Structures are given as structure tokens and as C-alpha cells.
Structure 1
Amino acid sequence: MTALLDATDSQRAMLAELVAGLVAAEQTLSSMQAARDGLLALAGRLAVDIARQGRHPDHGDLAIRTVAAEIGAAQRASDRAVERRMSEASWLVERFPAVWEAQGRGLISAAHARAILDAGAHLHDASERSAFADDAVALAQTTSPNRLRPLVRRLAERFQERTVTERHRDAREQRRVWVKDAGDGMADLGMHGPAALVHGMFDRLSQMAHAVQQENARAERGATEPSPATPDTRTVDQLRADLLSNLVLTGTPAGHDTADGLLGELRARVEVTVPVLTLLRDDHPTAVGAPAELDGQTPIDAETARHLTGGAAGWDRVLTHPISGAMLAVDRYRPSEELRRHLRARDQHCRFPGCGLAARKSDLDHSHDAAHGGKTEHRNLATLCRRHHTLKHHSPWQVRQRPGGLLEWTSPAGRSYLDRPPPRPSVVFAEAGVQDGRGAGTGGGAWDAGADMGAAPF
């Protein structure tokens, strides 16, 4: 059945009106949230002014608690929660006024604002923070919060006084594991550690979980008579949790391994994008941007990137434009599946508007169906996750690919959405002495490596 194919013109018109109404409602909510943040920030400033006026030795801490308690009592809310909101609101209003203003005008949502604040939290220079905020707001008006996060993290690197390597060395000191009790005899286990290790751990657990499911399916197909044992119906999430428990408590995936011990042989895999000069030397004095990125999302330090890529079995070279950073081509020393690598490198994630699922977990789809004469070439292919691949083929959603990998989507209600390929992480160069990170570049490029991970001293 094709979704909405049988909708009448009046139903389509009603859908268009509903979408327009929801957009207007969301803009109003964003404006009201910004207004609330303004009032909370003003309350915090009032408390500090009162404390300064009385020369309180605690620099306003007790005054802020008192004001938070007053607001909390009136709102029937915890004063601790109100104090936290006051702090967050002050951070937004006073340090990122352009972001607050954009939210107040309904141009971006609170989720967009949070992504920008998280990325720029460590920018101390007011002029650099302002420049970052202006560029980030412009990006936020064109994409969803989940897609925005890696873009603004990458953008913030241009304005950082300290390199990723320097900050990562300090951040590693904060690594920790914690437990949070939950109901019904359950608890949560959390870990804060180097991104390369955390992603690698999760990937290895995922491979193990899928291997267990495949082994169970093969055993069921090969059984000649009903097994007295209860079938293993655990989900992938449940298997990940069980495997992690066994690995931590016993050091081996006991009770979950295959007959041939295949789980112990699995190696985690992460995708690392590294500008070529990162591999050749330490931070270049005129280089702009992050030294490397993990899965196109998380900036990592140069030392970790060099360690991971040093053992990579293969490389994809990604050539980028020296000024715009747009991807031009992909090649490899040992070419194979060139077109697939080109599209994964160009798209980086599912190309349906707002979706951020990684390209390596998505399908390749012909924008103009192959069954109707569509060519199998990069100008007619894009990565779509299974959810949006299915939506494209079984609903009135339509897509047309334009030059430069630009996808023009048309919704059942007749609205048009443009989805642009995300920029590649790439080092560009500015003239010596230029510090704002936005000068014209003279060259760029990066390398993608799939790195197998074992234990490593990061």
C-alpha cells in the first residue's frame, strides 16, 4: 500500500494547513522559551546586584539561592531546578545574545540553541564567541538540531585558542564511570571517556550481539527436531547489556559466545576522517579546523587520530575544494567500490531532511528509479536510511537530484525542502597572523580510514 496515495485534494490541503500551523506554533513556543530565559537571566542578575550592593562574601551564592527559592515556590518547582535554569539562561542571554535573539524571533528552536551553546561553551574571547554565534545561527536555520551538532562543533574549532590535542589531554583527566539507581531492581551504568574508545566499545558490543542472533538463527534452521532449550529471543539491546556485563565481570563473553569462539575475534570498527597534514606533523600554525573527526561527528585529537589510522588496512582519499571545503572526488590506492565510497564520503548521513543516521548504516537509492531508466551514477544516487528509503518508495514524497549533490524533496502537502551535502572536515590555510579562522584557504583535503580497535593507551 502506498501511503497517502488515495488522499483527496481537500485532505492534502488540510495537511498543508496543519503543517503551517505546527510551524507557527513551534515558532511561538521558541519565542516564549526565549522570553522565559530572559526573565530567568534577569532574576539571576538581580540577585547578583543585590549581593554586590551588600558586599556579600559569598559573591551572590546565597542571594541566588534565595531568589531561586522564591521563583520555585511560586511555580511549584524545585528551587534547585530553578537555580540551574537561571544559570543556563544567564549563559545564553549574556554570552550568546545573538543565539537568544534568534530563538526569540522564532528562527531557531531551543534544541538548536542548546546545540550551539554546547559547542561554544569553551570559547572565552567575546569577539570570537560572537563570530561563532553568528555563523552557527545561520547554519541552524538550514538544518535539524541533530545534524547541527557536528557542524557547530567543527565550526567552534576554528575559534578555539587551544588545540584539540591540548584540550583532549586535559579532558582525559575527567574520565569516569558512575552508577545511577533506577526502579524495579535496575540501575544505569555510565562512562565518560575518550570518544574513540567509547565508540569502539559500542561497535564491538553491537557486532557481538548481531553475531549471537545470527548463530541462533542458523541453529534454528539446522535443527532436525524441536530443541528442549528455550529459544533465545533477546533483542540486540538486551544482548549488548548481557555481553557487557559478562565482559566486565569475567573478562570474556562467557555464555554468549558461538561454538567457534568467534565473538572473541571480533574487532571494533570506527570511521576516522583526518586532514592529510595531521598525519605528517603536529598542529600547523595556519591550519584552521579540527585535526580529525570520528564518524563525521566528534572532533578528536591528532595523537589519537594518528594512532588509529596507523593501523588502518585501507584509505579513502577525499579531495576537497581549497576555499569552500566542498567534496570534489574520492579515490583509493587499491580502488574498489569507488562509487559507494564516493557517496558515503559526500553524504555522510541519510539525505532525507533532518535525518542524521550515518551513511555507512544507510542504503544507496536511485533518485530516479533504475527501473524507469535512472542511471547508476553519483548524480542519481544518494544515501537514505531504511526508514526514509521506504518512505520515498511507498508515499507521495518525491526527490529530484540537482547539481552538486543537492536534493530537492517535495512533500505530499506540496512543500519543498532542499537538502545539501554536509561540508567535509578539512584543513584550510590562512595567512600567517590571521587568528579568526575565516580567511581564504589555499588548499585542503582529508583521508578517511576504517580503524580496527583493540586496547590502546589513549
Structure 2
Amino acid sequence: MSEPDFRLLATDELLAAVVGDVVEIRVLENVMMHKIAELERRGAASELGYRNVAHVLRHAVRWDLKTARQWVARAELLARELTPTGSLLEPELPIAAAAMAEGALSGDHISAVAEVMKALPPEAEQPVVEFAQAHEPSAVRAFGKELAYRLYQQDAEPSDFIEPVRPANRLRMEWRGDQLEVSARLDKIAGAKFEAMIDPLAKPRPTTPEEGPDVRSRAEREGDAFADLIDLMLRADRLPEHGGEPVTLTLTMSYADLAAQTGVAVLDNHARVPATLVRRLACNAGVIPVVLGGRSEPMDIGRKARTFPAAIRRLLVARDQGCTFPGCDRPPKHCDAHHLRFWSAGGETSVSNAALLCRHHHTLIHQSDWEVKLHDGTPTFIPPAWLDPARTPRTNTRLHTGRHVA
């Protein structure tokens, strides 16, 4: 059967066809959600070795994890629940579920309805769904807020004596070129502590005959004080750990460049540092140079211990530069060293039998049918047969893996 020529349709006929297609897609989405709910009910994630169904869908249909979680959340809202006694319970949003089954609502509508219903009584679902059937999801959220205001505007004001909710501490970090921009919002207690640490370090430098008065602005003085505080923390005796060793800064560069003091070094967060700064950085405590091609640190301790020592971990950081699982971009500080051949099965503790994996993917490798091997210095992953019947090997192309550490 030949494909119809849509150019021959009148505009109203073409638009009606699009609307009909959207209804069919929504009906199919509803069926998909019920299938996802059944995967959740039968514990498919545990059966396949995954943390939850969202992570299964992420690999099975190549959704972003955020998208997969949205589908699972919507499926839970629309599906009936079977009790241990065999009774069927109505969905959490029964009216929305019926409208979705008819193709009258989209998945985004369901998310919007669920969001506004958190602040509304169950009897409000009917008017909310009726509004959703005639408006876009963003309008549903606005309608829900207005409805909640009308319902509760006569309620008594909360007591002035109720203890306010403690605001969450927030920190945002973003690299812009070769500079890291940091912004933070701290509660009163944490803010006071931070201010008490910064203030002594941010005082103007004493006026001297050589340099004169301190010409830095307050913002510049406090920025330098923040950098000084970081150095103080790096020299502290008691620090939190990343991957089993104290917080450190790792600089990676070739031996030839180091000897000639040319080129650049690469930090474990992939930032590039000119060779002129490497010598000054290397003088500070907590900074570890990792020279590719050097042989001053052990790469293999065999079966003597299961835990990877700091020296081997540093070489793994230089080689793998983060989690090696395909598509993952977690940095080295969030990763464990994983035995490719399990230590319990006779595997040695060595660079040639290891790869960096974030905690999530480390657990996945141990619990599922994923396999990982080292191929020409690059950790290579073989997916389960249910995900890829051909079991085609995959590598992480988001990081520059495969660098050899001799």
C-alpha cells in the first residue's frame, strides 16, 4: 500500500489527522505505562540485576534517566494495584487514568495533574481533569494553584510560634573557561561558621614600604581568602576521603613535558594547567603528580590484598579519568576501583585487572549480566543478551579512556 500524499488533503483534514494520530499515541502510551507498572510489580529490576525499573528502561530503550523515572512515576499513578489477598485497588488518580486510556490526556498532563493534586482533596480531581482535557499541562498547574487558593483562602493563618522549616544549604559550581564559578546559599548556622573562617583571612594586608596599602576590593580579598581556606583544608590532618584516600589533587602529564617544563598537565576533573604552574602546585600538601611513563609506583600487588592501594588508584585515575561505564560521566572522586576478574574468583589487585566505576555502576556489574574486560588498555563492556542479543562490546566515549600507564 502506497503512502498517502498529505499534500492533497485540505488543511482542516490534515489537522484532524494529526489530532487523531495524537489520540492513538496517547492510547498506546497508556498501554505502555501499564506494562511498565507490571514490570515494577513483578520485581523485574531485581531479576535483571538493576537498582530499579527506571534504570532498566534507561538501557533497554535508551531514555535519559529523568525520562525513564517520569514514565515509571506516571505508570504508578495510572495502574491498579493488586493486594496480597488478590483484591484490585483503584489507581491513585482514577479519573485521570480513565481519560488517559481514552487518549484525552498526555503523559505530561498526568504529571501536571498529579502535581496539583498534592495540594487538593480527592474530590478536586474531576474538575482538574476536565480542565486538563481542554488545556496544555502548564495551564493545568496554574489552574491547580488557583483552585487551591480558593479552597483554602478561608483557612486560619498558621501560628506565629510554629518553628520555620530550616532552609536547605545549596552550593553551585560551574566551570566557565579556565575559571570555576561558585555560588552558595547557607543557613544561619553554616553561614556564620563560614563567615567566621573567611573574615580573618580576608583582612587587608598590612601597608608596607615595598607594596604600599592593600589595593584589593573586598570581593577580591574574600575570594583570595576562600582560596586560602581551600589550601588550609588540603593541609589538614583529618579530611574526608574519596575512594579510600584523603582528598588530593592529581596532575597528569608526560615525563618528557615535565622534564622540559613545557606543555600542560591535566587535573582529574579534565581542567588543563600550564606547566609553569605545575611546580608551584606540586609544592603544596595534598597535590600528587602522576607521571605517565614513570615506574616509581607499584602497578600490581597480586593476591596480597583485596583493597586497591592509593598508588594503584592514582594510576587508574590517570588512565580512566572517571567511571568507565558507557555513557557515564561521574568523575574519579565518585568512583571505586573494580576488579575485572573478581578478587573472590582469583583476580589480582592490579592496574591490568581494574577499572574505575561509580558506585551505581559498580553495583550493577556485580548484580547483573553485564561483563567488563580490558581491551588495549580500555575498559570494554559487554551488555546482557536481553539488552543486545549480539552482545556488541561498548566503551565509554564521553571520557578519554584507554590511556596507557606504563
> TM-score scaled by structure 1?
0.34
Which structure has more helix as a fraction of its residues? 1
Which protein has greater RCO, CA pairs closer than 8 Å, 6+ apart? 1
> TM-score scaled by structure 2?
0.37
Q: Which has the larger radius of gyration?
A: 2
